Structure formats: C-alpha cells, structure tokens
Amino acid sequence: MLKLVKINSAPPGIKHFRIGKTSTTNRPRLIVNCESKVKMVFKSLQLIKDNETFKNIMIVNDRSPMQMNQHKNNKKEFEERRQNGESDLQIKYFEGVPKIVKIKCEN
C-alpha cells in the first residue's frame, strides 16, 4: 500500500503493529515519525480505495475530542442548511479544521 502512494515499503520511521489480541476486528496501528509521509498517505486515500488489493482497508486519522465535537456541529449545521434548500454545500478541511463551503459551479 505504501508503494502505491509512492512511499517505499517500510522506510525508516514507519512501523505498524496490532494493539490487543488478534480478533475478527483487526485494527493494526500505523506509526509514522515523519509528518510529510502521513500527509502523503491521507492525500492519496482515493488511490488506495480505488485499488482492488486495498479496497477493504480503512485508514482514519485520530481526532481529538474537540475535533470530534467540531465535526459533529458542522455536520448538524450542514444538514440544517441542506434541509433549508442550500444544495451546493460540502464540508472541507482546512489545516485539519472542518468548514462548510459552497461548491463553485464552473461555467
């Protein structure tokens, strides 16, 4: 998977491991010491999802309680605005902060 996002397989600073016992819900953790590699993986998530080999792999970023609350509030506002007739909206993340933005129509 790391080769797919142009990170050599297991370069220094990247390791993965499982926390807890092996079970039907495997959730190995990936630890990365280099922030740029993390960003590269998250920017390439669509490549990973589109690849048949990795279609069952889910990658999520840990969120702090404040980030989870922010996301919950934005999602609630997003749904309210859509119910009020605004259809050209989406939630985008700017430096990790979710914001509701209007989709720009190309003419």
> Is 11's pLDDT higher than 60?
no
Q: Is the pLDDT of residue 7 over 50?
A: no
Answer whether residue 83 shows pLDDT above 90.
yes
pTM above 0.75, yes or no: no
Q: In the chain, what are the domain boundaries?
A: 1-62, 65-102
Complete DSSP assignment for 1-33 = -TTTTT--SS-TTEEEEE-S---SS--EEEEES
* Measured distance CA(100)–CA(13) in Å, rounded: 35
Examine the pLDDT at 20 and tell me if it is beyond 70.
Answer: no
Instruction: Give 37-68 pLDDT, tens digit per residue.
Output: 777 777 777 777 787 777 777 777 777 788 88
Q: Which of the two residues, 54 and 92, has the higher pLDDT score?
A: 92
- As a whole number of angstroms, the distance between CA 42 and CA 83 comes to 31
pLDDT-above-70 percentage for the chain = 66
Q: Residue 32: pLDDT above 90? A: no
Predicted local distance difference test score (pLDDT) of residue 79: 93
